Amino acid sequence: MRSDFEIKREICEIGRRIYNKGFVAANDGNITVKVSDNEFWATPTGVSKGFMTPDMLIKVDAEGRVLEGTWKPSSELKMHLRVYKERPDVGAVVHAHPPTATGFAIAGVPLDKYTMPEAIIFLGSVPIAEYGTPSTDEIPDALSKYLQSYDAFLLENHGALTVGKDLMTAYFKMETLEFYAKISLTARLLGGERELSCEQIGKLMDIRRKFNVPGKHPGCPSCNIEGVGEPVKQELKTNESGFDEKELTAIVAEVTKRVLAQCKG
């Protein structure tokens, strides 16, 4: 069993990584690690994740009460505690604002295409949890709908959240999420993603099971390939123009293609 100091040192290291990668700015984001069913180490409010030291971290209970430390907890701690309450398998939670993934969250476009083998095996599709006011129960309530099916979430007009059996797993899911978002955006600018076939997805899911990858994965809703957790249907929103998000994505891709063609001409 790892000591509290080792856990706190790892939290500071992951804080530096998400800061240096530009996943957070200023004092954004928060990280928690489960110690027991009623003890969690958490990053404090008002501190840059790139400049934390172990003595700044606080230990809280399942109700958010401070057990150790002199700093105040983040107002978004409720979101983390809801995850631990509803997902006993989760040992760590990372919340950040990776720019490209957050762009998808702001645009209201879920990352639900099955295109990259690595994302299919280690991440799964990524839904959008409906908007909630920060520091209230609105965000945990919106997130709760998806917790039993996914390990990575876009938070509408807010950012992203990833969970894992330990902190490194949760962090790597955040890295994979942003990488997946960047590639998805590039593919859409080039005319759209080409999804893998049901047969190809099935083989990748077999690999996931073979390597016993922990966590939730909704599987493929198109071909009913079994995942780990039941998929939640993500309803597309219709904006004032009358187009749904899939239609808008296709329109944006076509307009971008034509603009690039004109620039080349």
Positions marked active-site = 76
**Residues 6+ positions from 110 with CB-CB distance below 8 Å:** 104, 125, 126, 127, 128, 154, 234
Please give the backbone phi and psi of residue 92, each rounded to the nearest 5 degrees, phi first: -160, 150
**Residues 6+ positions from 197 with CB-CB distance below 8 Å:** none
Residue type, 164: G
CA 155/CA 108 separation, integer angstroms: 9
CA 129/CA 190 separation, integer angstroms: 27
CA 32/CA 167 separation, integer angstroms: 8
Cβ pair 184, 192 in contact under 8 A: no
Phi-psi region of 117 (alpha: psi -120 to 50; beta: other; left: phi over 0): alpha
In the numeric block, the tokens 């920060």 are attached to 134
Half-sphere exposure of 194 (CA within 13 A, CB side): 2
